[in-house]
Structure 1
């Protein structure tokens, strides 16, 4: 999917032109927004995948490790991981099983709920996620491909879009501690 040289024309601009040419004027701008965001996501994921490949991590596995590393004790209930990562419980369980198998996390019984499980970061998992974070910061996050002002505007615009879709509500002054 990646090109060695830039394309001579922006295919997304051409798609918008085609939408308009076919009389779909009311939908052309929205199609352009959706497809542009999806293409940007593909480009960013390719960079993330390349940065994480030496660590044997997918972004889903990295996110789970990073979330646990951010928690106060390096452990969280499975239900909290599902809520914070905003993915289906089955996906989190599958990702967690691979991380358990590889020795980066372990499953523990919940201290107060016999039906629930805790996910806990191992020392190996903490080392791996810190190393991967250093590479992601250096190769992707510090230079996402747009300047700081554009980044601030883009995050704000996408946050409004997410909020309008019901993804989150206005936060309280302080997030709840992990």
Structure 2
């Protein structure tokens, strides 16, 4: 991670927004920009933690989803929907996970047109270890007080709901 800046560039951008006559939009611009920057920071941290496991956060999410499923498998289209990613992005992650033996594609037992994505024994082991590392190094050490994390989660949930992300 680069050296910290002497001042908050988002706060400076907010001030510039106001000075250019966009005061009504300044707080939203600052909030959205800060959210995107924060997401980038967390993604970088997560990817660094997961790298020794041969994972990115996107690939970890695939393993975690399969790990939470009742049978350890899901149809590809359902996994894509639940992860809220385009099928092409999921296929890329699955290709890489399959190449390392963490998942496999199998034929659906009753629907010949559907492929299931299945967690392998190796994938289960990697998932357990990776989840432990994320819990210790990121989720329990986020840099946010617990109350802030809860508040932020609720705020973002309300926003996502208002945008039709879920019912």
Return the TM-score normalized by structure 2.
0.96
SS in 1 for 2:151: helix
Cα distance in 2, alignment partners of residues 90 and 3 from structure 1: 32
2:69 counterpart of 1:71:
yes
Cα distance in 2, alignment partners of residues 123 and 84 from structure 1: 22
Note the C-alpha offset of 1:82.
Answer: 0.7
2:137 counterpart of 1:139:
yes
Which among 21, 24, 27 is matched to residue 23 of structure 1?
21
Which among 99, 106, 109 is matched to residue 104 of structure 2?
106
Structure 1 portions without partners, runs of 5+: 170-178
Residues 7-47 of structure 1 deviation map (CA, whole Å, 9 limit, x = unaligned): 22111100000000000112111111110101111111111
Q: Which residue of 1 is the match for residue 2 of structure 2?
A: 3
Q: Which residue of 1 is the match for residue 42 of structure 2?
A: 44
Count the aligned residue pairs. Answer: 167
Which among 154, 157, 167 is matched to residue 156 of structure 1?
154
Structure 1 residue ranges (4+ consecutive) displaced by more than 6 angstroms after TM superposition: none
Note the C-alpha offset of 1:3.
Answer: 2.9
2:127 counterpart of 1:129:
yes
SS in 2 for 1:9: coil
Cα distance in 2, alignment partners of residues 33 and 164 from structure 1: 17
Cα distance in 2, alignment partners of residues 101 and 149 from structure 1: 41
Note the C-alpha offset of 1:162.
Answer: 0.6
Return the TM-score normalized by structure 1.
0.91
2:90 counterpart of 1:92:
yes
Note the C-alpha offset of 1:101.
Answer: 1.3
Q: Which residue of 2 is the match for residue 174 of structure 1?
A: none
Q: Which residue of 2 is the match for residue 176 of structure 1?
A: none
Structure 2 portions without partners, runs of 5+: none
Cα distance in 1, alignment partners of residues 145 and 103 from structure 2: 36
Cα distance in 1, alignment partners of residues 104 and 153 from structure 2: 34
